[in-house]
């Protein structure tokens, strides 16, 4: 079984990209036995949904930072 630290890393990673089948299986197994990580994973999903709603466009962040605007004058 994976550690809680690894489960939290995978939970965070899952917010940005799809997990591999192996990672999904590891997470599901761990979450069946660990209430704290179930809560963490649920909270991560809720936080991501809230951020998407706040952005208003329903898109996931691309991970790229915005280019600074050039000073036109």
| DSSP per residue, 10-62 | HHHHHTTSPPPHHHHHHHHHHHHH-HHHHHHHHHHHHHHHHHHHHHSS-PPP-
pLDDT per residue as tens, the chain (73 positions): 899 999 999 999 998 999 999 999 999 999 999 999 999 999 999 999 999 899 876 555 555 444 444 444 4
Contact 33, 3 (CB under 8 A): no
Report in angstroms the alpha-carbon separations of 30 from 13, 18, 34. Answer: 16, 18, 6
């Amino acid at each position: 079984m994976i550690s809680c630290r690894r489960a939290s890393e995978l939970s965070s990673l899952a917010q940005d990209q799809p997990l591999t089948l192996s990672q999904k299986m590891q997470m599901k197994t761990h979450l069946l036995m660990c209430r704290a990580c179930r809560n963490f994973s649920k909270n991560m999903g809720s936080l991501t949904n809230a951020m998407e709603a706040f952005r208003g466009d329903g898109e996931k962040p691309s991970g790229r930072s915005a280019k600074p605007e050039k000073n036109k004058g």
